[in-house]
Structure 1
Amino acid sequence: MAMPQNDCVHCSYKHILLPLAYSIVFVLGLLLNGAMLWLCCCHTKEWTCTTIYLVNLAVADLLYIFSLPLLIINYAMQDIWLFGELLCKMVRFLFYNNLYGSILLLTCISVHRFLGICYPIRSLAYKTRKLAVIGTAVSWILVFIQVLPSLIYAHTGFINNRTVCYDLTSPDNFSNYYLYGMVLTVSGFLCPFLIILICYCLMIRSLIQTTGKTNLTSSAARAKSIRTILLVCGLFAVCLAPFHVTRAIYLYVRVHQKDDCRLLQGATLFYKIWRPLVGLNSCFSPLFLKTPICLFKLSPSWKQPGVTTS
């Protein structure tokens, strides 16, 4: 049965914006994550806890990136989906799997660094590769449980006699999806973000308190930690937070204010703009968090006597 498209919503701009944005994410993400994975897997002799987390981040990014050509073709062809029901579900699932997997792994890295800076001696027993593997496994299990309903909600349908792959779910199912979308925002984004924010606030306080009491090597490590804190916060501010805010507004308007054409057009516009931009976290995270660490590990001059990496 053909579903009529809401007359208030005109999304012709996405046929130019989305193919272009996804193409940029695909090229940059493939190069950066591929290079990082190659460096860490082929040239890193000893994997640390951080390396384990970051390699898992790269794998999550690459799984999402490999699905982008389907979306690029879909939007370039004016929203005509050619790849069947199963691939429609997998594309939507991989997007959310990467998104919330990245957030949880960033949370693991933040807690790991928080313990190393604020409790450097007492945390040694907890900063082991075995616990890092357990942490990544638990993260993936939680993410799978969180995003599993997306396989049910995402499916193909017909609009104006054309086969489409719904972004979130079909228009007649938005009321049911609304509750799931809000729960996913709280559990997948807001709670991890609060944990990261608390860790980084405590880390900054600890780093400020130790200023002037450390040697040159420790000062360099402190500066590196502060840069990492700012970069992760920037990643949330630029990519992750705007997407979740605009998606929450979009869902609310679609369910509760759908008769207000101007409001619905604005909410749709901002959501459609930020949806591809959130994929930039697949490019920024290896650029700022992963590749530099692997390069440091390749450089014999980076390690100082008595200094260990984690």
Structure 2
Amino acid sequence: MSNLYYGSRNTSLDNCTNVDDLVKRYYLPTMYSLIFIVGVVGNITALLVYMVKVRPWKSSTIIMVNLIITDLLFMISLPFLTYYYVLDDSWTLGNIMCRFTRLIFHFNLYGSILFLTCMAIFRYVAVVHPSHGHSIKQKRWGTLACVLCWAVVVAEISPFFYHFGTEENNNKTYCLDFASNNPKFILPYSWVLTVVGYLVPLVVVCLCYWRIMKELKEGPHMGSTKRVRARRLIVMILTCFIVCFFPYHVLRALRIYTNQTPESNCMLNRWVHAVYIISRPIAVLNIIFNLLLYTLSGDCFKQAFMGMFKCDWLNSKSKGVIKVALISKPATNITYEQSS
């Protein structure tokens, strides 16, 4: 393996099983292709529903639309990443495109984290402080939140413009992933991204989840539709934080550590790199979770979707079946249904 990935200190790499090479060549193109297909179809459909059918827009609508835009921007880079790994780590698209693909991955990652955190905060205000629920739904708060999110994300990933790009080795051009770059810069920068970009939002989401669940248990109307939707939404966001984002940040830190440790075992290096590679598509599976979130956002997305694609005939058909069943019941049962 090229010392671009493992450094020049380990001369026994040729004796190791190249499990990470196999994972990169077969797993990454497959996963990125599937995410691209589902992400493009799902997010374009969701964007059309929001733009054409959902009225009026609320703060949650604005946050969701920005989340869709973030996901679609990432979709642009996936064909290039897939092509790169199919060619066995041979980058042929120039330095600018290399920076773009690596930058947009982290832009999607940390942008999604912030937008999901905003959703949790807005839902917390609506449930725990209902007196402010009406004002928090106003579009200006959603717009302000999204502007702040975009500004923070740009600040977080701005070093990508200066410290990332293509590398030449043995007549081959590489576009190295985040954790395979210069450890002297990557190690502190990775910790900053992990703490500021992930751990702080995770704590905020957990606090919102705890307060919402406490309020739902103690407050009246526990089974109301809005409260049930709020509980499902916050559970979905927390699941996304743990399932998608947590493994990537842990394995990225482990990959950086083993990559800069001279005495690390050859096979340990390979396997750590392999599981880190596996965690990267999992980190952007939040795109699939986001498609489920749109139906829980409280802005009538589900009804708008059904109306736009003429799916409401299913509802009318099911209502007709129910009516027929009621008519066929005995008179005593009909009286009971009406009186109840």
- Provide TM-score, normalisation by structure 2: 0.81
**Paired residue for 1:235?**
240
Q: Residues 299-310 of structure 1 correspond to what in structure 2 (within 5 A)? A: none
**Paired residue for 2:42?**
32
Q: CA deviation at 1:292?
A: 5.4
**Paired residue for 1:105?**
115
**Paired residue for 1:306?**
none
Hey, what's the Cα distance between the residues in 1 that align with 2:303 and 2:244? 26
Hey, what's the Cα distance between the residues in 2 that align with 1:128 and 1:103? 22
Hey, what's the Cα distance between the residues in 1 that align with 2:263 and 2:159? 24
1:255 aligns with 2:265: no
Cα 1:4–1:129 shift into 2, 3 Å = closer
Moved more, 274-283 or 79-88: 274-283
Hey, what's the Cα distance between the residues in 1 that align with 2:212 and 2:303? 22
CA RMSD, aligned part only? Answer: 2.2
Cα 1:156–1:88 shift into 2, 3 Å = same
Aligned pair partner of 2:302 in 290, 295, 300: 295
Q: Residues 40-51 of structure 1 correspond to what in structure 2 (within 5 A)? A: 40-51=50-61
Aligned pair partner of 1:81 in 91, 94, 113: 91
Q: Secondary structure at the match of 1:12?
A: helix
**Paired residue for 2:337?**
none
Moved more, 121-130 or 263-272: 121-130
Q: Residues 53-72 of structure 1 correspond to what in structure 2 (within 5 A)? A: 53-72=63-82
Hey, what's the Cα distance between the residues in 2 that align with 1:202 and 1:169? 36
Q: CA deviation at 1:262?
A: 3.1
**Paired residue for 1:305?**
none
1:225 aligns with 2:235: no
**Structure 2 gaps, min length 5:** 7-12, 316-340
Hey, what's the Cα distance between the residues in 1 that align with 2:179 and 2:248? 17
Hey, what's the Cα distance between the residues in 2 that align with 1:9 and 1:183? 33
Bigger Rg over Cα: 2
| AA at the equivalent of 1:295 | K
Q: Is the Cα contact below 8 Å between 1:103 and 1:192 reproduced in 2? A: yes
Q: Is the Cα contact below 8 Å between 2:58 and 2:137 reproduced in 1? A: no
Q: CA deviation at 1:255?
A: 2.2
**Paired residue for 1:214?**
221
| AA at the equivalent of 2:285 | L
Q: CA deviation at 1:159?
A: 3.0
| AA at the equivalent of 1:175 | K
Q: Secondary structure at the match of 1:256?
A: coil
Return structure 1 stretches of 4+ with deviation > 6 angstroms: 299-302
**Paired residue for 1:272?**
277
Q: Secondary structure at the match of 1:157?
A: strand
1:188 aligns with 2:193: no
Q: Is the Cα contact below 8 Å between 1:157 and 1:166 reproduced in 2? A: yes
1:17 aligns with 2:22: no
**Paired residue for 1:162?**
172
- Provide TM-score, normalisation by structure 1: 0.89
Which whole-Å deviations, capped at 9, do the CAs of 1:118-172 have from their partners, x for residues lacking one? 001134444421121011001100000000112222210123321111112665x
Cα 1:258–1:140 shift into 2, 3 Å = farther
Hey, what's the Cα distance between the residues in 2 that align with 1:276 and 1:4? 22
Moved more, 88-97 or 224-233: 224-233
The share of aligned pairs that are identical, in percent, is 30
Moved more, 14-23 or 257-266: 257-266
Cα 1:176–1:225 shift into 2, 3 Å = same
Q: Is the Cα contact below 8 Å between 2:63 and 2:146 reproduced in 1? A: yes
Q: Is the Cα contact below 8 Å between 1:153 and 1:169 reproduced in 2? A: no
Hey, what's the Cα distance between the residues in 2 that align with 1:291 and 1:83? 38
Q: CA deviation at 1:232?
A: 1.4
Hey, what's the Cα distance between the residues in 1 that align with 2:263 and 2:81? 26
